[in-house]
Structure 1
Amino acid sequence: MTPYGMAYLTLLLVAFAMRFWDLGAMALHHDESLHAIYSWYLYEGRGYQHMPMMHGPFQFFGTAGLYHLLGDSNYVARVLPAIFGTLLVAMPFLLRSHLGRAGTLVTSVLLAFSPVMLYYSRFARNDIYMAVWVLALVAFMWRYLDTRKTVYLVLGALALAMAFSTKETAYISAVVIGSYLFLATVMDVFPWLLGRKALRRFSPPGDVLVLMATLLLPLSAAMVSLLQGPLGITLANPDWTRAAVGIPLGPGLYVAFLAVVGTIGASVVVGLRWRPRVWLLCTAVFWTVWVLLYTTFFTNFWGGLGSGLWQSLGYWVAQQGVARGGQPWYYYQVIGLNYEFLPLLVGSMAAAFYAIRGNRFERFLAYWALLNLLGFIYASEKMPWLLAPVMLPFILLAGKLLGGLLEKRPWSRQRESPVMHEKKSWLTEVHWPAVSFTIALALVVAVCGGLLLQGLSGDRDVAALLFLGVALLALAAGLAYVTKRVGKEKRWALFGASLVAVMFGLTVPTAVRAAYANADVPVEMLVYTQSAPDIPQLMAKIDQLAEETGKGKDLKVLVDSADGFSWPWAWYLRDYRHVSYPCLTTDAGCSGLSVTPDADVVLLSERSRNDAAPYMGAYGEPVRYKHRWWFPESYRGMTLKGVWNSVQSRESVCKVAAYFIFREFGQPLGSVDAYAYFPQEYDVGKVGKELPEKRVHC
């Protein structure tokens, strides 16, 4: 195996280990528990029905299959995203002819250590699957544009089917890619519309555009729901109290039927006039996969077709007005600069450069990154996991640009002949001033960060000041040597490589901290309204009580379902045979508590505790625990004037630096709490996770 191959294999093994290590330790997020339990229902033989709220069916079949192979557990519930997260690291290899050898490897490195990609490769949601499907679609598209081989159209159709069976963000990706293809084939499309050009004479980009349009047009019929206001009919019901969200009602049913039939007919006509055999093959692949998954292999045929063809998009059209999360338009920029500063900054520079001087592929990457970001900004629901599809094209842009930088060999001595270079030892080839420069710069950044925090918080450290002085002298010496010994054509490449090395050095601990140390602690912006570590700790206490009493899985547990507290308990308690989930608040539709519960363990929401207190005398002192906690979103409401004032404020700069370096901030974490009641004779012990003491006081 070549050194390049060994490097790639080593990287994949490292990525695999990072994604599979200790997968089950983190408390299951609310959404994760939904995905895990409905996959478990499928695994148990209870079937599956597509529900747009939980996105497409793919992850449920994939996770249920893994339950069959490996058993059901917290760990296995996250194995599928870990598999896809590892696969994503290898995906740039499909684009190696465009990224270049160095660019391919650098892109894979960025994907392997990306804080966002790593975190959501260990999180049971759809977003990491979507990253794989979209990158596969892009790779197969460019393979077809390069070779015109039909096999890549078929594989592209398969990637599309999997994407649209996974999550509705596939519509954003399809619009972005489709709009690029449209702009690339204007000279095909307009002559065809005027009847002057046959479809079969389209250029390669036109072929991909026709295929995507004809496959996806029926799935886009629900876009007519955007006109339900002017039309005065309900095409995507927004009110869950009337009927299921996203479905047509009344006269809207007839309009929806006509829209679906009309788009199917248009697709068939255009597809058969294009390249009939190729289109039929691609259509068979696409719709076979799609229909099997949405109809649960024909066991829910009409229901699956209806929800997949209409409600899948209709639900999210209706949710656009809800704006779940309530995040500002600049949300992805704020969270991106906290985690993906390297690809965001370098990728943005690459996009600007390639837009002007790039080739066709490089301009596509720039177009994809910009329009994709605008699409997710426009979508009203903004969540941290959506940073994964947002950052994907920026990572490719950064990998492409940095690969070109590495090919300039800024770390190497200049040689007259590549043959001579092959015969030289790497020790003699390494440009040691460049290495020294990078190390010195990294030390300066690290020490300056510490001194900034110390200075802003009013402390002084003489030793650190001396260390900084030595580092600065080393940097100055390195700069002088580099300036003198390195040619002008490599000087900027060397400086750029050094700065990127420093940013990468900051990225790795950022990724490790988010994925492991703070995986379920919302000091990280990636951790959004997360189930607290208290829950798996309490689950261990419940298991221990079941064992000590000899009741095993017959132990009786009552969970107050108020405020959505059933989740993630429905997953954790799935094997217990006597679990109930009444709503015990005094809200409308809730029963409250009027007698002593017939349960060994009772889990009450904080709002229910006072009303239930008279009936809880048979239990020991309740244990207060955090059910869900969240990041204090102090960035909301920012303005340019506010940002400028903050930059000028010593305290604000200190807080930003403290958060970026140590994940410390002045505000307490938000939480919604509950109380656990155990038998009086059972010693529950301590539950909860202590946060480390603050190191910086602004």
Structure 2
Amino acid sequence: MTADEQSATTRRWTPESASAFGRAVGTRTAAAVLAVTLLSLSLRLFALGSRTFHWDEARVGYWILRYAENGIWEYHAVIHGPFLYHVNKYLFQWFGASDFLARLPVAIVSGLLPLTAWLLRERLRRVEMIAVGLFFAANPVILYYSRFMRNDVLLAAFMVYALAFYVRLFDTKKPRYLYLGTLMVALAFTTKENVLVYVVTWVGAAVLLFDHRLQLVAGADDRKAFLREEAGKTWRALRAGRWGLHLVLGLVFFFAVVIFFYAPRSQGISEPGLWKAFSNPGMFPAVVEEATVGSWESFVSKWGEGNQKSYLSTFKSLGAVLWAGAAALLALSVVGFVTDRYVGERPRDVVSFTFYWGFVSVLGYPVIVENAFPWEVVHAVVPLAIPAGVGLAILVRWGAEAITDGDAVSATLAALLVLLVAGQVAATGVSTTYQHPADQHLDADETERNKLVQYGQPASGMGDTLERIRYASNNNEGIDVLYYGTDFYVGDESKNDRWAAGGGWYDRLPLPWYTEKYGAEVDSTSKLDVVGSNPPPVVIARADDRDAVAGRLDGYRAFEEEMTLWGSETVFFVDEEYLRGQSSK
């Protein structure tokens, strides 16, 4: 066989050859995908609780702790969907609240993403499956936000799972994949409101795929015949194997999951609640209405305003994050899509579909987001990992063919490109996720900004001060922490027990998560006289008030911390008696 014939054979890929290939090397490929998945989980679980909670993590974490305490929850779009609330509530009750445990659901769900490559085994080659899994496991953007208690990675992951299960449904015609895919879509709806954007992008991508089919048909009459044939095949498929029944049951299943998550919980108050309805069935209509109609109205209203800034400025901000954390993935996704689209007999649906999905997200999110926060790029990076894996596999195959043909130059070039991609991904991931996860800069000279860290992330080094607060709270009776100043003052601290909190509570973040977790008694004042009258073990004030507060305290040591990346210098005054007690432990 000539080199040209060998290359052409490599490019030809049909479902039949895919199945044969899977049978021939299925065990080795499955083992490789499993190994990548274990790597993915390890990267996420290692030191998962080491970074101090971001403001957004702390805000949600606090409300989960309050929900676990009082049993009251209702959906508020501004703090996003109920998935983390319900899942983490039980985790906290069973195992105790911690930074590690709070982030664990996101780490696990995203860490298992490489397994979706195995579900696509009829559509991807062996090397492509492994490459896709590696991008899911180690891309710096996906990795960083997989170690973050936010919904963005959860949403993207659930939709990739859904796509993989639906593709498997088409490949095997087994009803279980319909229900698994529907479960994933339902769970996606419980994470964040921009799942509606996913629905739109999926519809658009499906239309483009159907257009692919029409383009493969020669003339207008042939296209009409093709449409009639496809409609007939679809109708016959629905009639055969009870698919109509499965679709109805799948829809019921979807709404059952959504209602379960969105139904209000109202322990100890007079309002309707899910668990109350089981002892009072007449309450079910009100619960279902709130979980569906009420939640939907709030859900949709979250997207009412969109981006209030210029498109170009937002695109530039998000583009900088993409370039810093996913440059190789973006480039290889284009290579994978273009090669698959125009080389060989016909493009593969899954490659085209995910590229359209991701590409539209790159262009569309600057239109719809309220703020150009770096985690928004997750919604483009995750789907583009699939065509990027195809692009990386092309480089690997190119090198392998060059070695077979004795072409040392091409083999060396291909190896260098693969190493360059691997090195860039690894270096960026290690720097942003492990070395500088809470730092504004990635270098000692402070010349390279850490694009993945958002302003609400407290600066690194806060852990020791938090430990001092924990020790004081556990070894004191009465008020443990006193906030001073108008920034932190709340007239009635009991207003913080249910959403939303009052006064200066939000300027305290991320501390409310930690003080609630420690079981600390918290109070606040705007009067210096109160500070000096029987002060608690910990007093917290802005740096501007340091001297005034210090003058009212005797025997306290001051520790200054940044509550955000910059511009939020805060002083923690800790009674030295508790410092001595802590050091003796």
**TM-score, reference length from structure 2:** 0.74
CA contact (8 A) 1:168 1:313 kept: yes
Deviation at 1:507, TM superposition (A): 1.4
CA separation in 2, counterparts of 1:275 and 1:85? 31
Gaps (5+ residues) in structure 1?
189-196, 209-273, 416-484, 585-590, 630-669, 686-698
> Does residue 155 of the first structure (1) align with residue 180 of the second (2)?
yes
CA separation in 1, counterparts of 2:382 and 2:236? 25
The equivalent position to 1:675 in structure 2, one of 565, 571, 583, is: 571
CA contact (8 A) 1:534 1:627 kept: no
CA contact (8 A) 1:606 1:674 kept: yes
CA contact (8 A) 2:399 2:414 kept: no
Which residue number corresponds to residue 315 of structure 1? 302
CA separation in 1, counterparts of 2:358 and 2:70? 42
Which residue number corresponds to residue 602 of structure 1? 539
Q: How has the CA–CA distance of structure 1 residues 70 and 164 changed in structure 2, closer, same or farther, with 3 Å as cutoff?
A: same
Q: How has the CA–CA distance of structure 1 residues 574 and 518 changed in structure 2, closer, same or farther, with 3 Å as cutoff?
A: same
The equivalent position to 1:292 in structure 2, one of 260, 283, 287, is: 260
Which residue number corresponds to residue 334 of structure 1? 320
What is the aligned-residue RMSD (CA, Å)?
3.6
CA contact (8 A) 2:472 2:537 kept: no
Which residue number corresponds to residue 531 of structure 1? 458
> Does residue 122 of the first structure (1) align with residue 147 of the second (2)?
yes
Letter in 1 for 2:292: L
CA contact (8 A) 1:15 1:86 kept: yes
Deviation at 1:206, TM superposition (A): 13
Q: How has the CA–CA distance of structure 1 residues 151 and 110 changed in structure 2, closer, same or farther, with 3 Å as cutoff?
A: same
Q: How has the CA–CA distance of structure 1 residues 684 and 322 changed in structure 2, closer, same or farther, with 3 Å as cutoff?
A: farther
CA contact (8 A) 2:186 2:258 kept: yes
Deviation at 1:541, TM superposition (A): 1.6
Query: In the TM superposition, what are the counterparts of 1:238-637 in structure 2 within 5 Å?
Result: 276-296=244-264, 299=273, 301=287, 302-318=289-305, 320-322=306-308, 328-357=314-343, 359-361=347-349, 362-380=351-369, 381-408=371-398, 410=400, 413-414=403-404, 485-486=406-407, 492=410, 495-523=413-441, 524-529=450-455, 530-546=457-473, 550-551=475-476, 554=478, 556-560=480-484, 561=488, 562=504, 564-576=506-518, 579-582=521-524, 591=526, 593-596=528-531, 598-606=535-543, 609=546, 613=549, 616-618=552-554, 620=556, 622-629=558-565
Which residue number corresponds to residue 201 of structure 2? 176
Query: In the TM superposition, what are the counterparts of 1:220-235 in structure 2 within 5 Å?
Result: none
CA separation in 2, counterparts of 1:29 and 1:522? 13
CA contact (8 A) 1:410 1:497 kept: no
Deviation at 1:327, TM superposition (A): 5.5
Letter in 2 for 1:22: A
Query: In the TM superposition, what are the counterparts of 1:40-51 in structure 2 within 5 Å?
Result: 40-51=65-76
CA separation in 2, counterparts of 1:526 and 1:100? 32
Deviation at 1:185, TM superposition (A): 4.9
CA contact (8 A) 1:411 1:494 kept: no
Cα deviation 1:482-531 (Å, max 9, x = unaligned)? xxx418xxx65652342122221221121112111111112221111212
CA separation in 2, counterparts of 1:605 and 1:303? 42
Deviation at 1:151, TM superposition (A): 3.7
CA separation in 2, counterparts of 1:565 and 1:206? 61
Deviation at 1:535, TM superposition (A): 3.4
CA contact (8 A) 1:81 1:122 kept: yes
SS of 2:50's partner is: coil
Q: How has the CA–CA distance of structure 1 residues 177 and 203 changed in structure 2, closer, same or farther, with 3 Å as cutoff?
A: farther
The equivalent position to 2:48 in structure 1, one of 23, 32, 42, is: 23
SS of 1:622's partner is: strand
CA separation in 2, counterparts of 1:292 and 1:546? 37
The equivalent position to 2:116 in structure 1, one of 88, 91, 94, is: 91
Deviation at 1:83, TM superposition (A): 0.8
Letter in 1 for 2:372: K
Q: How has the CA–CA distance of structure 1 residues 199 and 68 changed in structure 2, closer, same or farther, with 3 Å as cutoff?
A: farther
CA separation in 2, counterparts of 1:199 and 1:43? 55
Letter in 1 for 2:164: A
CA contact (8 A) 2:558 2:574 kept: yes
Cα deviation 1:532-567 (Å, max 9, x = unaligned)? 2343221112234456xx42x655211352483322
Deviation at 1:323, TM superposition (A): 5.6
Aligned length: 489
CA contact (8 A) 2:107 2:147 kept: yes
Which residue number corresponds to residue 13 of structure 1? 38
CA contact (8 A) 1:26 1:533 kept: yes
CA contact (8 A) 1:351 1:397 kept: yes
Q: How has the CA–CA distance of structure 1 residues 554 and 492 changed in structure 2, closer, same or farther, with 3 Å as cutoff?
A: farther
Letter in 2 for 1:109: L
SS of 2:207's partner is: helix
Letter in 2 for 1:315: K
Gaps (5+ residues) in structure 2?
1-25, 215-226, 266-271, 275-286, 442-449, 489-503
Deviation at 1:407, TM superposition (A): 3.9
CA contact (8 A) 2:131 2:392 kept: yes
CA contact (8 A) 1:619 1:677 kept: no
Larger relative contact order (Cα-Cα within 8 Å, sequence gap ≥ 6): 2
CA contact (8 A) 2:201 2:357 kept: yes
Deviation at 1:615, TM superposition (A): 6.9
Q: Percent identity between the aligned chains?
A: 22
CA separation in 2, counterparts of 1:566 and 1:579? 15
